[in-house]
Structure 1
Amino acid sequence: MPTREMADFLRSRRDRIRPETVGLPANDRRRAPGLRRAEVAQLAGISPDYYMRLEQGRSVRPSSSVLDALARALLLNPDERDHLYRLAQSEPAPLRRHEEEQVPPAVHRLLEQLDRIPAYVLNGRLDVLAWNPMAVALIADFAEMPRPNLVWYAFCDPRARSLYVEWEQMARHGIAQLRTATGLDPGNAATRALIDELTERSPDFRRWWDRQDVKGPGTGRKEYQHPLVGRLSLAYVGMLLPGTADQQLVTYTAPMGSPSQAALDTLADRLWAR
């Protein structure tokens, strides 16, 4: 059954689409940017009244064909489409709590073997569940954080704004993954408590949270201005761990012979010389 979360998500996607992007005239008078409800309904091939009920969170059960049509009409990317499907489920499958928090022993051993590569394990809301010493050397001592969570770190620890060269991009990426976690497990009390704390503490979080962005694990690049070794440009890979509810292993690497690899080597040498 559609929820208020789904209604808000649909509205946010509709507001982002310029009419001319989907072949509609843009020169008529509009009260707000984006598409009208009737236009989304037309593009999706459903009735305006049916779409209005979806966007109002009223009791209707959209079929897979309707959800696919809405995903096409709203130009959803794969992560957004998956999020829409999760929000539309009448009975979301609960996460297995013992798997959500406990990192398998084999993964702990893998972290130990990655002794010169920063690596850590996250759950869906970006709690840092396990890490190696190089991750601490690169980012922060997660054990000393009041809340070892990357979204919390981005908005509540002033060191994050100076460490990440593209802090806003990093912070918004974290929000998008946290939003995805709410679709996977809507009733999770720990996720709700984190969102409530960040909403209270950070105007930036409040503003970007309302954008309804969603994103899953993937690959990319982050730029750091490290207090000890200077500028680093590192490629990251987030890999979902099989046999767990939502855990991902994240590693950071640089091309061999690059200045960033030299900086990582310096960090590792300092670390293991202690």
Structure 2
Amino acid sequence: MTTMAQEPAVATSEIRRHELAAFLRSRRERITPEQVGLPRGARRRTPGLRREEVAHLSAVGVTWYTWLEQARDIHVSVQVLDALARTLMLDKSERAHLFQLGGAVDPTPAAHCEGVSDSVRMTLDQLDPLPACVQNSRYDILAYNRTYARLFCDLDAIPPEDRNSILLAHTNPDWRSAIVHLDETMRLMAAKLRASMAGHLSEPAWKMLVKRLQTESPEFRENWERYEVVANRTKTKEFRNPYVGRLTVCHTDLWLGPEHGARLVTYTPEDEETRERLEKLHMMFSGAGTG
């Protein structure tokens, strides 16, 4: 039996479900099939996307998604909310609204950015023209300097929730083309992620990242099933930069806070030619912003 104390909470939950249903419908109806790579078809009468199309693109069941738009009392995980936010092309404010209506906390780096103090940001700036960034143990890129912003692609143009070095190496064409030994790098990344994840197996943000990688990258799925593990280590790497050409650098991790796994990632030149090219890259974008 529902008590009087429970009634306000039940009513609030029901209102939130109806708001969520209405919000999803409105966002679905504003997106054209062409925006998500689907054919329009001559007989389409539905404004925007159909429910089954949103369900398919978000890798959820059609019936389940229909219940969601019908304001049924069902549990919505952060992984599903993240998938829906990407399918419906929500901006930062809309994404935050979706998670609030879903009664969940957004675990992506776009929602919060731990471990990056003003002094660390100043250090990043002082390291220019050496590319440097701050990453957490999940490989989210939390902050970066001017040279790093153009090392692989225009990182400023990437949405904050997608700024993850493993995700970008598997899904972003520009980032992938910049890595000389891509197959070896992807296998190593999967092994490093599995090693890092051992202490975070039940955390939603980690499960969400792995699920997304498995959905969007066949190379990741194959490497993930190898169950290989590798610890972080200093390593020489080669990149193809679209502005200055080939770069040979030494990758080094400097740990900032073991409780969060935050680390300062730096790339130092292995030869004089790379040093000159990094300086040139830095000067080319000296007026650009940084993360």
Q: Are positions 1:176 and 2:191 aligned together?
A: yes
Q: Can you give the 5+ residue segments of structure 1 that lack an aligned partner in the other structure? A: 1-96
Q: Are positions 1:261 and 2:268 aligned together?
A: no
Measure how far apart 1:150 and its partner are.
Answer: 0.6
Partner SS for 1:221: strand
TM normalised by structure 1 equals 0.60
Query: Residue 179 of structure 2 aligns with which residue?
Result: 164
Give the aligned CA root-mean-square deviation in angstroms.
2.3
TM normalised by structure 2 equals 0.56
Among 100, 105, 110, the alignment partner of 2:118 is: 105
Q: Are positions 1:130 and 2:138 aligned together?
A: no
Q: Separation in 1 of the partners of 2:232 and 2:117?
A: 19
Q: Separation in 2 of the partners of 1:273 and 1:130?
A: 17
Measure how far apart 1:242 and its partner are.
Answer: 3.6
Among 249, 254, 268, the alignment partner of 2:264 is: 249
Measure how far apart 1:244 and its partner are.
Answer: 4.2
Measure how far apart 1:152 and its partner are.
Answer: 0.6
List structure 1 segments (4+ residues) > 4 angstroms apart after TM superposition: 97-100
**Mapping of residues 27-176 of structure 1, within 5 Å:** 101-146=114-159, 147-176=162-191
Cα separation, partners in 2 of 1:222 and 1:255, compared to 1, 3 Å: closer
Is 1:125–1:177's contact at 8 Å kept on the other side of the alignment?
no
Measure how far apart 1:193 and its partner are.
Answer: 0.7
Number of paired residues? 177
Partner SS for 1:193: helix
Query: Residue 272 of structure 1 aligns with which residue?
Result: 286
Cα separation, partners in 2 of 1:112 and 1:244, compared to 1, 3 Å: farther
- Percent of pairs with identical residues: 31
Q: Separation in 2 of the partners of 1:164 and 1:244?
A: 30
Is 1:100–1:123's contact at 8 Å kept on the other side of the alignment?
no
Cα separation, partners in 2 of 1:227 and 1:141, compared to 1, 3 Å: closer
Measure how far apart 1:99 and its partner are.
Answer: 10
Cα separation, partners in 2 of 1:244 and 1:131, compared to 1, 3 Å: farther
Q: Does 214-223 or 245-254 show the bigger shift?
A: 214-223
Q: Deviations over 1:30-50 (max 9, x none)?
A: xxxxxxxxxxxxxxxxxxxxx
Partner SS for 1:192: helix
Measure how far apart 1:148 and its partner are.
Answer: 0.4
Letter in 2 for 1:133: R
Q: Can you give the 5+ residue segments of structure 2 that lack an aligned partner in the other structure? A: 1-108
**Mapping of residues 214-229 of structure 1, within 5 Å:** 214-229=229-244
Q: Separation in 2 of the partners of 1:273 and 1:245?
A: 32
